[in-house]
Structure 1
Amino acid sequence: MTTTIAPNECSLPEGNYRYQEPLFNNVTGAAITLISVIVHLKWSSVCIVFDNDTEHEAMLLYQGLSDVGIFADVHSLQHMTSEMIDSLMDGKSSVFDETSLNCTILCRLESCLRYLEKPFDYGRKNMVRSSLLHKSKWLLGIFHDCDLSEMETNSSSDLDNVAVIQYPTSLLNKYQQNELNLEDSVRKVFKHMSVLNNSNPETLTEAAIEGLYDMDSDDLKDCAWLPIKTLMWHKTKRGLSTIGYIQLTGRLLFSKDIFPNEHFGFNNRKFIVSLLPWKPFIVHDIKTNNYTGFSIDLLQELAHELNFTYEITSPPDGQWGTETPNGSWTGLDVDIVAAPLTIQTDRERVIDFTYPYFYEPSVILMKKPDPNLTKWRTLIDPFSTTVLLCIFISLPISSLFLLFFEKYNPYYRKVEDRSKVTGLHHFSDSFWYMYGALLTQGGAHMADSSSGRTLLSFWWIFCIIMMATYSGNLIAFLTVTKEKLPFTDLSGLVAQDKYQWGIQGGAIFEQIFKTSEIPEYKKIWSGVVEYNKSDTRVLSYIGDEHIGKVLEGNYAFIVDKTFFDMTMIDNCELAMTLAEVLQLQYAMALPNNSPFTKIFTDEIISIHESGLLQIWRLRHWPKPGNCKESILKESNAITLIDVQSAFYLIGIGIFVASCSLCMEFCKHKYCKWREKIGKGKEKPQMIRHVSTTPKLDVHVSY
């Protein structure tokens, strides 16, 4: 039951209350009490709603608020429909400030209960209207003699900020005959505050407050106190709690905030939250139907700090949100989108994004090339082609310089017949010596001159460095597989014709590549459209279908890097390009022009500054570079295929040596043939010489 203090009882209510002087003296009625509360709340504008029985009080309230500098807009309950509220919220009235509403209602209890059911049917497609449940403040002047318990179970309990002053009709009738003209009272107030306005540039409302509270109360007729109650949560339900008292003369006592619920966030309101599984942000356990992940941790923290509950659902089309040819959008139509939704300009036209909570690069995912196909190059892989080429060029050039220093050095002038002696002054000997040094072996000859030794000493330093580097890299290449990808970026992808490519359908990649004017992006989208004719998996919104196609080979999947990190846990056959394709920003999304965007943004920034995002990332992300196969594997022995290039080298050596042997045989045969030809030309001359000599018969006697 509503408790009122008898008019002839001037004692104050029990409790620790703050006292406030009356706003108007000698002016009675509900309008005076409401003006006092409104001025105390420092509202700059108010919407006044009344029924047929309270029109007189509403007009007095309107006139009084106007005189103290508070804008008021007056409407009857019959005209204040949902459509009227929508039109006011479209900017046709200044009582709405950023979709917030300060409303005062004067009516009978039955009329008030019926009215509060009208404009607040919770339509999620009209987020602005539904936000009034949270952002509006309602000061109700209820004319009723009995208790107000019916308000606790009525739809008005859905409103967060409701304060009620009950006016017993019997009490109001007693004061009706003593009511004075409100305009005269306000004029008296301004006469008292005229000096104040000339010396202090305060606003009209602030000046009015001081002037009104300075008035004397000699004409005070009595001191009946009316309780001010507000809807607050108790243990089991929301109920009315007394937070202050007020007299019909405007004197105000209050112990708490008139609207304490505004400090309790969303007051346990339920939001519909939509999401799609996407590891590690959203992980769905089908058996238990539980959701975990990075974004779920963020959602739970927001629900705790902002005091709301939520119900999780998924979009029936399984899409993240893309624009269709007819201008509509697929995807999510709810209160909050907690999925890792990428911020994008086109999406900004239909939804509101909060502060981004995650920054993500995108990469090109493909199957690792078969390492056995390049194992034949193991011996030349430690050095790049440029290094090998420089080494092979340095060998003959250095051999020529050594030959020059040794052959034309004056140090060897005293050596006789030096050209007939083997040594570094011959190109073959200098070349093989330099080649032996390159293999850290050297040769049989050594330079005696200072210039030759200087050159050889620096050549040896060069050889030691090259061989040490080669040996270390060779060990690394034998133990770690070298992955040389066929392309490293989008330009390389579109330039080749061996690999097809695809993107996740219904996600941000489809929207970007479809609408972009960048030539490479256009080629990517043209390829996706072409490949989709023969295989619809290239535009599937299911990531696992793309992975299956990647593992089949010759297919590249453009996706965010986190997806690759999570997939690598179960499959070590995948590789990604180091070059980033796009920089993505993930954020939560709310309906377009949502009044809650700033509330969620401020809280996400606070969570970011607290370091919780980094803690959650360490919890859900795998360690860099780890996959189950590589962790479980033991060290593998070097197999024949790993060192096959060494055996190829032996074969090449045997072949070159055989060719060299053949050349030596040919040279030897050629020399013998030349020698034989030479002897054949000399023999006929000797025969002719002998034949022309006369024979002599010589007899020797003893």
Structure 2
Amino acid sequence: MDSNCASGNIASSLSNMIKTLEWPDVNIVYETPYNETVLNTLRHIEQELLGFQTTLYDVTGINPSIMENMLRQIYQKKSREVRIILFLSNTTLELLLEIANTFDSLSNKTTNYRSGSSWIILSTLIFKRQLLDFQLQNIILLICSRHLIGHYTLSDATITPIDCLNDCGSLEMELERKRCSVESLFPNIKHKYSKQHVLIGTLESNLLQKQVDKHNNTVYSGVVVELSEILAKHLNFTFTFVQPSDGKYGGKSRDGKWQGLVGLLLDRKEVDMVIAEFSITEERSKLIDFILPPFATYTWSALCKRGIQSQSNWVKVFRPFSIGVYKATLATVVAVAVLLLLVQRYSTEQSGNYRFSLWNHMISVLNNILVLISFLTSRGDGVSTEKASVRVLVAFLWMFCVVLTGVYMGNLTAALTDTKYHKPFNSLEELVQLPDWKWGIRGYSLTKKILRNSKNNIMMKIWKGLEQFNKTDPSIFDTDINVHVNRILTEGEKYVYFGFGAESLIKNRNDCALQIVDSILSNFQTAIAVTKNSYLKPDLESTMAKLSDTGFLTMLDEKIYRDNRPQHCKIKDTKRPLRLEDVLGAVSVASVGLATAIFVLLIEKCHHHNKQFLQ
């Protein structure tokens, strides 16, 4: 430090900057020769800033390991808001900054001194080019010369004067200070992570597709790419995708080490975060942190080939009506036949010489049924219409036939032209009973843990089946989902795939080849994963919350489940035989007709008896 530069000027300058930055606290790291300057600074700050907190660290003569522990202690105390003022000789200063520069890489990616700390340095290092080699982003330099203090900031690999503070007149300096802002003192704050390179662990799945272009370059596409790009834009970082060589999501090897994406993130620290089809589970949450809100939701399902029901046309002739409608129609015909018999029995012509005969009654009822069936098939004939009751009954019967025939013909046409898909089994209980069927899963996925650890009886049977199949067919545990899909679609193969994301897998195809038979478990959510205490967590949580509020995550979800199949694949088979309540109008017509005909018959009978009585 220049001996002509008064410590009071330094203290005043620091106080002005702290006011502008609105810092509530600061860590002062100093050596013994700067005791007077540190004390003046403290007095100045205490007079102007009530409640301001200061922590002092005397590093005179300490070794690099102690300095490293000191930086760790400072970060653990304030995490993302580290504020440090340095009063050090050039040698000690360079040593401390070198430690801070490499601190993040040595802390298992749990600290962010690079862009998450702010430094004010009293030094002459402005004349030393090596200061620009440091990765620390937010640095202000105070340079004393001839009783004046120069203020400089580091931005975009250049040292730039801070104009609003570098003014000689005290009044003008105060006016300029009021026009200062945090961005003018630390320009890189608005740049967030300042193009810091981030490694993102991922795996090929329905959310991420990988292709090699004609120049032999790997090109990624899918929801994972879109989410990574929007995060990189908001937080200003660059990224590279890293896939685990074993192609696994995570699991422990025999030597107790984690594999797959969990190993990349947890054990080897080879990635900063994981963005993949990586479900939130209780076991994983104990080891790593998930960034909420999640960006996708999946259901654990059974996936198989979509079959076509082979139903002959002669069967379809009976399909428009359910058995209840046929029963009601038969009951109506029988009831009308019996009523006609009563009319014939008690007609004027037969009442005088009628003799009861069960056989004759049965023949008469059968004859009437045959006559009435003709109403349902052609024009009908042979029904006597001399009696009013019979004419009423015939009128309502015709109405019944017209309504029923119209409904039947319409639904018969739909049944004959409809292609009805069917499922080979309707539940897991049915599946495990089928002798020729096999099923498979991705061997190192969450599905394997679910089945292996389940106490549910049917799940245990499925797991035993997998173990049995694996003895002769190891591909049932293949980690590539395309292997399982190809087996499902192989002609003559009876195969089922169990896993997450089956619905989106079906909809992303351009055919009708696959179907979900059963959605078995509750939903599992997929979220970004980071290490415990990761410096990325607060910023990622804040950004994901904003993306959720703006509807971006909803748009991603719609892309995951967007139906790309042909239109006819999207039509659900909702046709069913017409039930009795569907043709209740026709049945009501027949019922009213029967009641009316009986009423008229009773009137006729009373009139007949009254006429005989008068005679």
Distance 1:147 1:96 in 2: 30
TM-superposed CA distance for 1:524, in Å, is 3.9
Alignment match, 2:438? 500
Aligned to 1:347: 284
User: What residue in structure 1 maps to residue 349 of structure 2?
Assistant: 415
* 2:496 alignment counterpart: 556
Are residue 164 (structure 1) and residue 127 (structure 2) matched?
no
Offset of residue 485 of structure 1:
0.9
Q: Is the 8 A contact 1:424 1:430 kept in 2?
A: no
1:284 partner amino acid: K
SS at match of 1:598: helix
Structure 1 residues 580-595: aligned runs within 5 Å: 581-595=521-535
- Structure with larger Rg: 1
* Residue equivalent to 2:476: 538
Residues in 2 aligned to 1:451 and 1:579: alpha-carbon distance in whole angstroms: 59
Cα offset, 1:268, TM superposition: 1.2
* Deviation of 1:359 (Å): 3.1
Q: In structure 2, how many angstroms separate the alpha carbons of the residues matched to 1:450 and 1:580?
A: 64
Rounded Cα–Cα distance in structure 1 between residues aligned with 2:109 and 2:393:
85
Structure 1 residues 32 and 622, CA, compared in 2 at 3 Å: closer, same or farther? Answer: closer
Aligned counterpart, 1:356: 294
Shift in Å, 1:309: 1.0
Could you report, residue by residue, the CA deviation over 1:506-533 in whole angstroms, capped at 9, with x for unpaired residues?
A: 3333344444555544444444344333
Q: Which one of 208, 211, 214 corresponds to residue 285 of structure 1? A: 211
- Say whether 1:148 aligns with 2:127: yes
Judged with a 3 Å threshold, the aligned counterparts in structure 2 of structure 1 residues 601 and 493 are, in CA distance, closer, same or farther, namely: farther
Matched, 1:121 2:102: yes
CA shift at 1:149, angstroms?
4.7
- TM-score normalized with structure 1 length: 0.66
Residue matched to 1:678: none
Q: Which moved more, 1:440-449 or 1:555-564?
A: 440-449
Say which is worse superposed, 527-536 or 400-409, in terms of deviation: 527-536
The Cα shift of 1:356 comes to 1.5
Aligned partner of residue 340 in structure 1, secondary structure: coil
Report 1:121-140 matches (<5 A). Answer: 121=102, 126=107, 129-140=110-121
Residues 28 and 248 in structure 1, CA contact (< 8 A), matched pair in contact too: no
Q: Please, what TM-score do these two structures have when normalized by structure 2?
A: 0.74
Instruction: Give 1:352 deviation, angstroms.
Output: 2.3
Query: Structure 1 58/323 Cα, relative in aligned 2: closer, same or farther at 3 Å?
Result: farther
Matched, 1:72 2:72: no
- Helix, strand or coil at the partner of 2:339: helix
- Output the amino acid matched with 1:407: L
Secondary structure in structure 1 of the residue aligned to 2:543: helix
Q: Percent identity?
A: 19
Q: Which residue identity is paired with 1:340?
A: E
1:367–1:95 distance in 2 versus 1, CA, 3 Å: closer
Matched residue, 1:405: 339
Q: For the structure 1 residues 405 and 227, does the alpha-carbon distance in structure 2 shift closer, same or farther, using more than 3 Å as the test?
A: same
Aligned to 1:565: 506
Maintained 8 Å contact 1:404/1:425: no
Aligned partners of 2:32 and 2:169: how far apart in 1?
Answer: 24
Take 2:191 and 2:142, find their aligned partners in 1: how far apart are those partners?
22
Q: Deviations over 1:678-700 (max 9, x none)?
A: xxxxxxxxxxxxxxxxxxxxxxx
Match of 2:613 in 1: none
Task: Give the counterpart letter for 1:546 in structure 2.
Answer: H
1:432 aligned to 2:412?
no
CA-CA distance at 1:578 after TM superposition: 6.5
Q: What is the rounded CA distance, in whole Å, between the counterparts of 1:75 and 1:465 in structure 2?
A: 100
Q: How does 1:454-493 map to 2 (within 5 A)?
A: 463-490=401-428, 492-493=430-431
SS in structure 2 of the partner of residue 339 of structure 1: coil
- When residues 381 and 351 of structure 1 are mapped into structure 2, their CA distance, relative to the original with a 3 A threshold, is farther
What's the counterpart of residue 605 of structure 1? Answer: 545
Structure-1 separation of matches of 2:417 and 2:407: 16
Aligned-partner Cα distance in 1 for 2:62–2:454: 50
CA shift at 1:626, angstroms?
1.7
C-alpha offsets along residues 92-149 of structure 1, whole Å, 9 cap, x if unaligned?
669722443212211123432222221442656845544222221112122x2x7435
The whole-number CA distance in structure 2 between the counterparts of 1:115 and 1:313 is 33
Inter-CA distance 613–424: structure 2 relative to 1 (3 Å threshold): farther
Q: State the distance in 2 between where 1:343 and 1:543 align.
A: 20
Change (3 A) 1:27 1:269: closer
Shift of 1:580: 6.1
Alignment deviations for residues 371-405 of structure 1 (CA, whole Å, 9 cap, x no partner): 44x4477426734xxx5422443344333312321
Give the match for residue 635 of structure 1: none
CA contact (8 A) 1:226 1:245 kept: no
What CA distance in whole angstroms lies between the structure 2 residues aligned with 1:498 and 1:461? 53
Alignment partner, residue 22 of structure 2: 42
Of the three residues 294, 302, 318, the one matched with 2:231 is 302
The answer on 1:262 being equivalent to 2:189 is yes
Matched residue type, 1:42: E
Give 3-state SS (helix, strand or coil) of 1:318's partner.
coil
- How far, CA to CA, are the matches of 1:467 and 1:568 in structure 2? 42
Amino acid at match of 1:283: Q
Q: Give the alignment's Cα RMSD to 1 decimal.
A: 4.1
Q: Match of 1:672?
A: none
* Structure 2 partner of 1:195: none
Q: Read off the aligned partner of 1:273 and give its amino acid letter.
A: I
1:394-421, Cα deviation, whole Å (9 max, x unpaired): 3443333123212223884213378999
Query: In 2, distance between residues paired with 1:110 and 1:299?
Result: 41
Tell me, yes or no, if the aligned pair for 2:289 and 2:530 is still in contact at 8 Å. Answer: yes
Q: Distance in 2 between matches of 1:624 and 1:450?
A: 65
Does the CA contact (< 8 Å) of 1:48 and 1:72 recur in 2?
A: yes
Quick one: structure 1 residues 592 and 445, their matched pair in 2 at CA, closer, same or farther if it must change by over 3 Å?
Answer: farther
Q: Alpha carbons of 1:377 and 1:575: their partners in 2 closer, same or farther (altered >3 Å)?
A: farther
Determine the structure 2 residue equivalent to 1:242: 162
1:507-518 alignment, distance < 5 Å: 507-518=445-456
Q: CA deviation at 1:471?
A: 3.7
2: distance between equivalents of 1:367 and 1:403?
Answer: 51
Change (3 A) 1:77 1:46: farther
TM-aligned CA deviation for residue 344 of structure 1: 2.4
- Compared with structure 1, are the counterparts of its residues 436 and 603 closer, same or farther at alpha carbon in structure 2 (3 Å cutoff)? farther
Structure 1's 93 and 163: CA in aligned 2 closer, same or farther, altered over 3 A?
closer
What letter matches 1:348 in structure 2?
S
Change (3 A) 1:525 1:405: same
Instruction: Judge conservation of contact 1:31–1:61 (CA < 8 Å) in 2.
Output: yes
Aligned AA (1:352): D
Is the partner of 2:469 in helix, strand or coil? helix
Per-residue CA shift, 1:598-630, capped at 9, x if unaligned? 322332333344344565677786645428x98
Q: Hey, what does 1:330 align to over in structure 2?
A: 260
Measured in 1, the distance between the counterparts of 2:188 and 2:17 equals 17
In structure 2, C-alpha distance between the alignment counterparts of 1:86 and 1:147, rounded to whole Å: 27
Deviations, residues 271-330 of structure 1 (Å, cap 9, x unaligned): 112222223x32212224111222212221221222111122212111223455737353
Do the aligned partners of residues 133 and 516 (structure 1) sit closer, same or farther apart at CA in structure 2, a change above 3 Å counting? farther
CA distance in 2, matches of 1:128, 1:464: 80
Structure 1 gap ranges (5+): 8-25, 172-223, 632-702
Which runs of 5 or more structure 2 residues have no equivalent in the other structure? 266-270, 571-615
Q: Secondary structure at the match of 1:270?
A: strand
What is the alpha-carbon distance in structure 2 between the residues aligned to residue 455 and residue 554 of structure 1? Answer: 58
